[in-house]
Structure 1
Amino acid sequence: MTNIGKVIWLFSAFCHFSRCSITSQDCTWASELTFQDVKDAIDKLKQLDILNDRIANLDEQVTTLQKHVPSIIFHAKVSDGLNPAGQGRIVYDTIIVNKGSAYNHLTGIFTAPVAGIYYFTYSLLGMTDSGNTEVRLMKNNDDLSYIHSILTPNQAQTASTPAILTLNRHDQIWVNLIQGRTWSGRGALNFQGVLLEAQ
């Protein structure tokens, strides 16, 4: 029985008792109820039912979102001493965080498991004798951004850059070394990403 049904039932019972020859003063409060009192009670119960329905709907939506929106976060670096050089994809072989397992430490490729907006950063530190060093952030073989370092001998300069990207499911992101020699000591070469908003 709904709350409204309970109120109507109680009101009917009160009306019945008020017509009976019950003289107990314990029941006098029932006969004092007015139609407006019962109507107000019914209106309040209707409002409570509406609020309860809204709360149940919100709980269901939150549960659905928690089930379908994965947490994607990764942070990887090139191990000390590997020092990528020449041309080719940089493989950040040491995983620090890889929640969601979207980054592959064997290939250096991040594959988007869901469509959404992602945030990435990557860094560069060229060797002191490298001179001209460049890395590029790639998306499905397209250049997105780059870090370019031109140094004279015995100079060193570290740099990093962010990128906010809208990706489709299965889009791939990686970092290419275009030229020069890098230094990976003390975690100087990093690649990071996080899902900001699923779509």
Structure 2
Amino acid sequence: MYTTRFPLLCWCLAVIGRVCICENTGTCFQYLTNYDTCNRETIRKPDVSFMATLGNDVRNPRSNMVIKFDHVISNKGGGYSGASVVFTTPISGTYFFIVTLSIPAQSNASDYLRVHIMKNGVEASYLFIGAHSVWVKRSENTLLELQRGDRVYVSVGSTSSSEFAVIPGGQFHCHFTGFLID
């Protein structure tokens, strides 16, 4: 009996030497390493997911500042780096990302904060938080088709003024999450 951990969904038809020949439009040939085997069962993509929170407050956020979600809670598949605060896609596929921010009350009615989910340096989605008189918690979700090596992170898009002085860290007020769905 053989088992495997391939990053494709296929049905193995045969193993010839160290090559798994799969029923995936008839063109999927997987090379087996010393640790991989094949059991003719459905082969699924590996778990890839992460969750990171702000370890510290972000003071005086400014445009294009990368938000440092540096306290890594979970990192299945090893794609997220708490040091670079970037998710680098370990395998191609469809990923779902969520950024959640909790912001304290603002003193100026025109204050706002716009935060981007970035893919390879280009805005993929954004979260807008306007002025309010109480704490507010907002989330933005996005679905991205990614290739291996693509980089996803969160940055400040723009802010109204220095009045928007802090994005609070700690206690799960703010977090960034992503996972492979297909």
TM-score band, normalised by the shorter chain? 0.5 to 0.7
Structure with max Cα Rg: 1
Q: What is the CA–CA distance in structure 2 between the aligned matches of 1:91 and 1:61, rounded to whole Å? A: 43
Structure 2 portions without partners, runs of 5+: 1-12, 16-21, 24-37
Question: Shift of residue 183 of structure 1?
Answer: 1.8
Alignment of 1:117 onto 2:94: yes
Deviations 1:37-63 (A, max 9, x none): xxxxxxxxxxxxxxxxx8998974437
- Deviation string 1:49-82 (CA, Å, 9 cap, x unpaired) is xxxxx8998974437x25xx32111011012x42
Query: Structure 2 residue aligned with 1:170, among 128, 135, 149?
Result: 149
Instruction: Tell me the percent identity.
Output: 25
Structure 1 residues 55 and 107, CA gap change in structure 2 (3 angstroms): closer
Question: Which letter does structure 1 place at the counterpart of 2:61?
Answer: G
The whole-number CA distance in structure 2 between the counterparts of 1:161 and 1:182 is 16
Distance 1:187 1:113 in 2: 26
Q: Counterparts of 1:72 and 1:185 in 2: how far apart (Å)?
A: 24
2:171 is paired with a residue whose SS is helix
Provide, for residues 115-166 of structure 1, a one-character-per-residue CA deviation record: whole Å limited to 9, x for no partner.
10111111122232373112111001111111111114x4321100211111
1:191 and 2:176 correspond? yes
Contact persistence 1:133–1:182 (CA under 8 A): no
Number of the residue aligned with 2:115: 135
The aligned counterpart of 1:92 is 69
2:50 partner amino acid: F
TM-score by length of 1: 0.62
> When you count strand as a share of all residues, which structure comes out higher?
2
Q: 2:168·2:174 contact (CA, 8 Å) conserved in 1? A: yes
Task: Summarize deviations over 1:150-191 as a string: whole Å, max 9, x none.
Answer: 114x43211002111110111110000233431224211100
Kept after mapping to 2: 8 A contact 1:123/1:161:
yes
> CA contact under 8 A between 1:125 and 1:184: conserved in structure 2?
no
Q: TM-score, normalised by structure 2?
A: 0.67
